[in-house]
Chains A and B, each alone.
Chain A
């Protein structure tokens, strides 16, 4: 019988939009692309906004804190801010955090297991493997801070941590103890630092991991473990060797310098790829900047007024938040947007002065800092202060505080006052950058968003709402602007959360428990 098209390879088809796994691990050049892929996972768009990797993680850490205020109760992220969403086992949004973290770990494991056989110079192999191991550590660290109880520096950290994935596997696996998690994280970071120390060439962008990034994260880990002096010393390594410098031009917000990786302070950052990141609502700045997006229009983010009051008048950071929104010169907000007292100007990505035609929603993305140098000084300050080396602590603090406020003089505080001063600087400096919830948790502090409404005072919402009246009368001087929304309160349940309450632990997504029966849930 006549038979056509039966050539041997008729049925051999290959994807034109993906490559075979074997090609990826053939040599170090290709394997480096697998690391680039991981960099992208850090901010990759998911199926529904705001699923966007570490960017969502960063925002979430501030939603759960008291320093970043949502000026309207009906805003996006309300259920995050009122502490209900991260306690829902079936909700897809907190699940995304769990998903992107383990996606990075799985990709890192693939690299770690296959890179040794890839062709190429040893230095490139170290560069690839060092970054992979770093990512595994960083991701485990991000996870254990959420799902496990806090690391107690006193020891006996046998409480459930997370599922440690140290090899490629889809097998069920139980959660390791918090102690074991931190052991693994530290071992990985040490190995990453060792491998990346062997690398002599410069990374191509600040998105890549070099030894300083690894050390900076190691400093964070040690601080979280309460290993005060170790943390301070590790942060000092970064300060001394990374080449980063303090650069208060980063607060030249009108030029968008808070979202510009060319700033000398930045150590690790997402570098914006405007032609790749084209979807609105899948970007950090879609929820916190002046981009022309409804969430930013309706609900500008504000600083907690009680924290704002602690900032000195001469501090370059003070104008980042605006108390008098009617008279503030050059207030930047989206066209048609609301203005609220103490609204933020920190993350300006699209300024009218830049170009009149582009201030129109065309700019969606901008660079985003993951690690900045001042954090390292502040880790030094906190570590030394809590580790009873107050002199070193004051010196480290001075670098940051003086850079921001020329009138600042070396602190004379001691003891709790000194740590309080350092923590205040930390809250102001790192506002909106994803630290507050983690700081409260590691320090075993309560969440306190200000006192309850008191009778006889105006809460700023009901009667003369701030939407039409920027300066309500008869405000309670003790109250924070939390719960002072224009019409409705977010709720009493999240106004105050006692230290150590079960709510500090995120619940494990139900799907993990279903498909990994060895994984136990946190108390609901």
Chain B
């Protein structure tokens, strides 16, 4: 009974338009109409007709959607005349039959009367003949004119239908003259055409529009953008398909408001940090949840070949993300891979060749001569400051310097090389100047190849997509490379009317070699060594007497490891250097044995079961596995005296997801509702094994353990288990696609919490209103679309670093015998961190579709934050995890896209987006406290710098001056210096700490252009950030004094030299005084993080169709594309996007970001 009713309701297409039938008025009816209307909706006019004539009015509800308001003056106008008038420029026509007015779609004339919101439909009507029973025709693409095969042509209201053949032709028998054909094909907008007695009906199908009525992949399904209440950004393939991307998140840089992408380092295969709408968590993770084809993805993002990706959906607010409740507090990144489309098999082949190089230049450093003079001065100054006389100091400085450096490229003794003022002899020549480019010695122009082939297609019932990709990238550091073989297979089939099944396989093998050590301070860090070795140290051995290269018996140059060298006959002795002794990275970088092999398989299978009309059960099962093996080893170098070592580590990540979803959709009248209920369980298991050996038997590149004799470290292994389980539900409702609302609820449990605190409830509500569908907007001509929406909801976060944070545990701390040490106090009350998100937005399309965009306000409040509260050191416990404190991220996102020009030859589009973001702590469990160079205090941001206030350099003695903290410390009079009434001190330990701005940029965003001329297309996009600060530790280390004989920054040329000098750069010296000179963590090193970056520029050319057709190619594009092409920041050497949150430590001795310039070709068959 119930079932029957449902069918009835759902199948009801023609409805009573006007519910008013129920209360028929008593007034007498006539065949004439009297109406004075101005911009009255057609529906209201029809109601008037019904009231005045008593006729019933039937219409397809869909038809009324794009009708126009009516203006008419009628006094007792005959009904037929009246109808003719009001339907004259409507897409509908009316016929009167037996006191019933039936509305139907007009056939569209060739002129294509104004139907702004219905894409181009053209129907050729020939030879009108009411008796005709057979119809033939051809279906083609409106864009390209190419035939569409396997398009469905169905007679409306019947089961009669057929598919087009490969040439797009169809033939349909026995069609009534008044029938309506529905023509559809995947990827195109379907079309309804009234036969009207014709016997040939050709159709042009328009591609599915990607503006407002885009169908987006959203949480557990899809949604129409026009009625979506959440905040979700969709980045289509167009944005990134012709870019030399190794992983896709780079494509979000500057293109997606609210999303910040860190600069990934230059190591091929590395991935950036992502932040969506600021920093929501204090100690828990701030990484967004990644969903691959509907399943949580916990593997490397680099295992997904960007070419296989159709779109990315970024879910930013609670309404869009709440359904992922448990782990969605930091937003969700949905990666949707490609699937086949109905039609003949399509083969796409792509090849891209690129060159990698360093994106930006390093800090500017001193020339060798300036370097010599500066260090001479350092020696002189420290001798004087330590009590020596100036005369002695001047006399001895040169010799001391040469002794300290240990090398003398000028082949002159100290007395000849320096005068008594430390000026270098103008005739001095650096005899190995051409052999000191250490950084150049480890760099190269890397090559990058990216090849992809895909085959896709489908029939009415089954579609498939399969692809193979191979990518090989060399970094700009010698030896560093990354390659990936990826394959994808996706097949979906409607097996029966009620059952659809499919599988989706994404698999990849990635291999990285020449991973470079970035460990701060380590000699093994090639970046550090090659940046800091002064340019008086040669890369190869040189005869200290003549400056000539020393050659081995084969006539080759010999690398200088700096550990000293003596010729066999003892005549040539090279003493070696102190800094980076035992290392020669230009030589060693060729043999770096450090890499990994990663094999990932992500498999998804599903079954859609239609239980009843509108009711569907979906079962999704997903398995992800990541087999990872890494290795690193140390070569035996005679010069280093190493024994050789080898470490091999292995891990295996296994995840599975199981979802049961029940969807129910229902239409009644203009109401539409979708209901979803589901259950999801997820398991993450990570197994890890480490091993290492040392003392190589046979020196060489065999790093397998058979070639080693001693265990270096005991093997270790462990398994992490993490599980979540949740119940979810959602209701979406819309009325006439004009008013819409949604609500969701999810209940989740995490294995991270104790069983009594395990479950959390997350929910959201949202509403929207399409104003452009309102009558009162009909006159506002410049508005094509206008939608308002708002949402509020909560999402959770459990992503603390450990997997068992509630447990009080002891960790192994063996001492030859088994030992344990207290590791955590545990906290059984620990539970979900909750993020409460409010979002309100206006989306618009204006000026005849020339300008579209949105303005959006968001307020993301994190409460019950997962907080690792620092404890007094004397408690012996570093931190205790609790739920405490709150913080908000609020801001405004603005997106503007302008289609400035569109002519036959030209098209110019400009785009701009900006996110204004404010992050503020509102309450804390410990308030305030200092964390590194930040102060954590309510009322301030998470990353507000709290630094010693640096004033400048004391002109009297060249020392740095800092604001004196008069409240906290006592000063002797000689510790203070008064300048303009403010007290300053040279004693850095007594300096005043002040808030010094935040590292978080106030505004970030991007702008770009898309310019087409004939077959050429030029695209570029910029990223910018404004209003943040950056603590330039990299600069500091080139300006400080604690490491002698390292290369130094050019700015030291501005150093203080004698009393009275006004400068910002302190005296250059060494020894005890360096504490002052180095200025510790003070505002001395703070600079603006404003930057502008050309993230991509792309010039493409589409080969003419005429040329291609003869070669059976349907599309061919050649292009040039460069990523990270250009950067402007406060100072050379700085790239503030790398660590945009913390604004700190980004530039120290790391693999700098790279630029990739590439050429590519894309062919479609």
Contact A486 B403 (CB under 8 A): yes
CB-contacts of B609-641 with A (<8 A)? 619, 639-641
Contact B871 A170 (CB under 8 A): yes
Contact B641 A334 (CB under 8 A): yes
- The answer, among B619, B681, B876, B969, for a CB contact under 8 Å with A102, is B876
Which chain B residues border A462 with CB–CB below 8 Å? 383, 392, 396-397, 399-400
CB-contacts of A467-509 with B (<8 A)? 467-468, 483, 486-494, 509
Which chain B residues border A98 with CB–CB below 8 Å? 873-874
Q: How far is the CA of A518 from the CA of B575 in the complex (A)?
A: 55
Q: How far is the CB of B677 from chain A (nearest CB, A)?
A: 7
Which chain B residues border A524 with CB–CB below 8 Å? 969, 989-990
- The answer, among B383, B821, B1075, for a CB contact under 8 Å with A489, is B383
Which chain A residues border B399 with CB–CB below 8 Å? 462-465
Contact A357 B725 (CB under 8 A): no
A20 near B: Cβ within 8 Å? yes
A200 near B: Cβ within 8 Å? no
Contact B873 A273 (CB under 8 A): no
A172-B872, A294-B523, A467-B575 known; A20 vs B809 contact (CB < 8 Å): yes
Q: How far is the CB of A210 from chain B (nearest CB, A)?
A: 15
Kindly count the residue-residue contacts between A and B in the assembled complex, taking CB atoms under 8 Å apart: 325
Closest to A78 in B: B1042
Q: How far is the CB of A86 from chain B (nearest CB, A)?
A: 12
- The answer, among B383, B392, B718, B820, for a CB contact under 8 Å with A455, is B392
Q: How far is the CB of B431 from chain A (nearest CB, A)?
A: 20
Contact A40 B813 (CB under 8 A): yes
CB-contacts of A20-72 with B (<8 A)? 20-21, 23-24, 33-41, 44, 48, 72
Q: How far is the CA of A278 from the CA of B392 in the complex (A)?
A: 47
Which chain A residues border B821 with CB–CB below 8 Å? 34, 37-38, 40-41, 103, 107
How would residues 811 to 834 of chain B score, 1 for a CB under 8 Å from any chain A CB and 0 otherwise? 111111111111111100000000
Which chain A residues border B825 with CB–CB below 8 Å? 170
Contact A18 B1072 (CB under 8 A): no
A163, A334, A361 interface centre (most CB from chain B within 10 Å): A361
A165-B874, A487-B401 known; A17 vs B713 contact (CB < 8 Å): no
Q: How far is the CB of B532 from chain A (nearest CB, A)?
A: 13
CB-contacts of B354-400 with A (<8 A)? 379, 382-383, 385-389, 392, 396-397, 399-400
Contact A10 B681 (CB under 8 A): yes
A11-B755, A515-B872 known; A21 vs B809 contact (CB < 8 Å): yes
Q: How far is the CA of A360 from the CA of B638 in the complex (A)?
A: 10
A242 near B: Cβ within 8 Å? no
Contact B1071 A294 (CB under 8 A): no
Contact A207 B575 (CB under 8 A): no
Q: How far is the CA of A4 from the CA of B660 in the complex (A)?
A: 9
Q: How far is the CA of A278 from the CA of B714 in the complex (A)?
A: 9
Which chain A residues border B814 with CB–CB below 8 Å? 36, 40, 273, 276
Closest to B821 in A: A37
A78, A335, A359, A519 interface centre (most CB from chain B within 10 Å): A335
Contact B875 A84 (CB under 8 A): no
Contact B930 A34 (CB under 8 A): no
Closest to B397 in A: A462
Contact B812 A17 (CB under 8 A): yes
Contact B563 A107 (CB under 8 A): no
Interface locus among B304-312, B739-747, B800-808, B1048-1056: B800-808
Interface locus among B208-216, B576-584, B838-846: B576-584
Q: How far is the CB of A35 from chain B (nearest CB, A)?
A: 8
A289 near B: Cβ within 8 Å? no
B1073 near A: Cβ within 8 Å? yes
Contact A204 B817 (CB under 8 A): yes
Q: How far is the CA of A275 from the CA of B710 in the complex (A)?
A: 9
Contact B1072 A82 (CB under 8 A): yes
Closest to B520 in A: A48
Q: How far is the CA of A158 from the CA of B816 in the complex (A)?
A: 42
Q: How far is the CA of A172 from the CA of B386 in the complex (A)?
A: 43
Closest to B688 in A: A17
Contact B658 A5 (CB under 8 A): yes
Q: How far is the CA of A357 from the CA of B697 in the complex (A)?
A: 9
Contact B989 A37 (CB under 8 A): no
B720, B821, B870 interface centre (most CB from chain A within 10 Å): B821
How would residues 162 to 188 of chain A score, 1 for a CB under 8 Å from any chain B CB and 0 otherwise? 110100011111000000000000000
Closest to A19 in B: B810
Q: How far is the CA of A48 from the CA of B641 in the complex (A)?
A: 24
Q: How far is the CA of A509 from the CA of B65 in the complex (A)?
A: 72
Which chain A residues border B1045 with CB–CB below 8 Å? 74
Which chain A residues border B619 with CB–CB below 8 Å? 2
B401, B713, B803, B874 interface centre (most CB from chain A within 10 Å): B874
A18-B809, A294-B523 known; A276 vs B713 contact (CB < 8 Å): yes
Contact B677 A463 (CB under 8 A): no
Q: How far is the CA of A11 from the CA of B750 in the complex (A)?
A: 7
Which chain A residues border B820 with CB–CB below 8 Å? 19, 24, 33-34, 36-37
Q: How far is the CA of A44 from the CA of B815 in the complex (A)?
A: 10
Contact B873 A99 (CB under 8 A): yes
Which chain A residues border B578 with CB–CB below 8 Å? 72, 74, 298, 338
Which chain B residues border A362 with CB–CB below 8 Å? 643, 694-695, 710
Q: How far is the CA of A37 from the CA of B814 in the complex (A)?
A: 6
Closest to B634 in A: A361
CB-contacts of A109-164 with B (<8 A)? 109-110, 162-163
Interface locus among A87-95, A369-377, A417-425: A87-95
How would residues 300 to 312 of chain A score, 1 for a CB under 8 Å from any chain B CB and 0 otherwise? 0000000000000
B397, B521, B817 interface centre (most CB from chain A within 10 Å): B817
Closest to A5 in B: B681
Q: How far is the CB of A297 from chain B (nearest CB, A)?
A: 6
Contact A467 B403 (CB under 8 A): yes
Contact A106 B406 (CB under 8 A): no
Contact B876 A103 (CB under 8 A): yes
Q: How far is the CB of B520 from chain A (nearest CB, A)?
A: 9
A13-B723, A465-B404 known; A88 vs B581 contact (CB < 8 Å): no
B241 near A: Cβ within 8 Å? no
Contact B809 A461 (CB under 8 A): no
Contact A21 B810 (CB under 8 A): yes
A5, A18, A516 interface centre (most CB from chain B within 10 Å): A18
B929 near A: Cβ within 8 Å? yes
Q: How far is the CA of A373 from the CA of B392 in the complex (A)?
A: 49
Q: How far is the CA of A72 from the CA of B677 in the complex (A)?
A: 72
How would residues 581 to 616 of chain B score, 1 for a CB under 8 Å from any chain A CB and 0 otherwise? 110000000000000000000000000000000000
Q: How far is the CA of A186 from the CA of B18 in the complex (A)?
A: 97
Contact B681 A336 (CB under 8 A): no
Contact B660 A1 (CB under 8 A): yes
Contact A165 B875 (CB under 8 A): yes
A10-B681, A10-B725, A72-B578 known; A163 vs B874 contact (CB < 8 Å): yes
Which chain B residues border A327 with CB–CB below 8 Å? none
Contact B679 A487 (CB under 8 A): no
List 9 additional contacts besides A34-B822, A106-B877, A335-B641; criterion CB under 8 Å. A1-B679, A5-B681, A36-B820, A37-B821, A84-B1075, A89-B989, A361-B642, A464-B399, A514-B929
CB<8 Å pairs between A and B, sample of 28: A1-B662, A1-B679, A2-B619, A6-B725, A12-B755, A17-B812, A18-B804, A18-B807, A18-B809, A35-B819, A36-B820, A37-B812, A37-B813, A74-B1044, A106-B875, A173-B872, A173-B874, A273-B816, A357-B695, A358-B695, A362-B643, A462-B383, A464-B399, A467-B403, A468-B575, A487-B401, A489-B386, A491-B385
- Top 6 A-B pairs, shortest CB-CB distance: A106-B876, A336-B563, A36-B819, A491-B1072, A516-B872, A335-B641
A residues adjacent to B (C-beta < 8 A): 1-6, 10-21, 23-24, 33-41, 44, 48, 72-74, 78-79, 82, 84, 87-90, 95, 98-99, 102-107, 109-110, 162-163, 165, 169-173, 204-205, 207, 271, 273, 275-276, 278, 292, 294, 297-298, 334-336, 338, 357-362, 452-453, 455, 461-465, 467-468, 483, 486-494, 509-512, 514-516, 519, 524
